[in-house]
Amino acid sequence: MNTADIAVIAGAVTASLGLLWFFFGSRTAAHVAERHDDVQKVTVVLSGGYDPQRIQAVAGIPLQIDFDRRESGDCTSRVVFPELGISRSLPAYEHTTVQFVPQQVGEFGFSCAMNMIHGTLTVLPGDAGSALLDVEQGDPVDVAATEAQGNLALVAVFQKTLDVAHLDVVVAIVGAGTEFNFLDLDHFLL
């Protein structure tokens, strides 16, 4: 193995690690929706992306998501929750409230109309209602419910990591300048 082969392998490994960090290492914690008078409320700012990107709410309690759009690009002019059947126009430099009652437990993606900017809504079971911070009564966050949600996200990360790891091996083998002598058809000519 010469210096060029080592350099190619090192480059492939570095690129693979960079991709893994970009897609899986830069996750932020979910922002828990606050309860006000039996309604869950959260504000999402749109300025080059969704902030926060991850929202946590409880099933069976009305949820109001206030989208504060601070830009005028076409990409973020609409928010779409495909699994929930919700699509709403978001006028530039305005607040738009999307209100619904989450019925199903799980993770639901939302994105712009071009599917380039993404966020995630995590809906916990209805009995986890005490897990949300009640602004008026000052109840603490239920750590067990938050930990359970974190474990579900961990399973998804492992599954995605396995898919990416398979791709990394292919990149490393091809990137190492592997010779494919078995494809040499000159020896098979009659």
The fourth-level CATH superfamily of domain 28-162 is Cupredoxins -  blue copper proteins (2.60.40.420)
The per-residue pLDDT for 6 is 87
In whole angstroms, what is the distance from residue 74 CA to residue 71 CA?
A: 9
Q: One-letter amino acid identity for 88?
A: R
Q: What is the pTM of this model?
A: 0.56
Strand ranges for 52-165 from DSSP E: 54-58, 63-69, 78-81, 86-89, 95-100, 106-112, 118-124
The C-alpha angle 19, 71, 92, rounded to 5 degrees, equals 135
Parse the chain into domains and list their residue ranges: 28-162
Amino acid identity for residue 180 in this structure: F
Give the pLDDT confidence score for residue 84 in this predicted structure. 92
If DSSP codes are grouped into helix, strand and coil, which group holds residue 87?
Answer: strand
CA R_g for the chain:
23
The SS3 of residue 55 is strand
With 0-12 CB in 10 A as exposed, 13-18 as middle and 19+ as buried, what is 67?
buried
Q: What is the pLDDT along the chain (190 residues), one digit of tens a residue?
A: 899 888 888 889 898 887 776 666 555 677 888 888 899 999 999 998 999 999 999 999 999 999 999 999 888 999 999 999 999 999 999 999 999 999 999 999 999 989 999 999 999 997 654 444 444 444 444 434 444 444 444 334 334 444 444 444 334 344 444 454 555 555 545 4
Give the pLDDT of residue 19: 75
The pLDDT of residue 17 is: 83
Give residue 95's pLDDT.
96
CA atoms within 13 A on the CB side of 182: 1
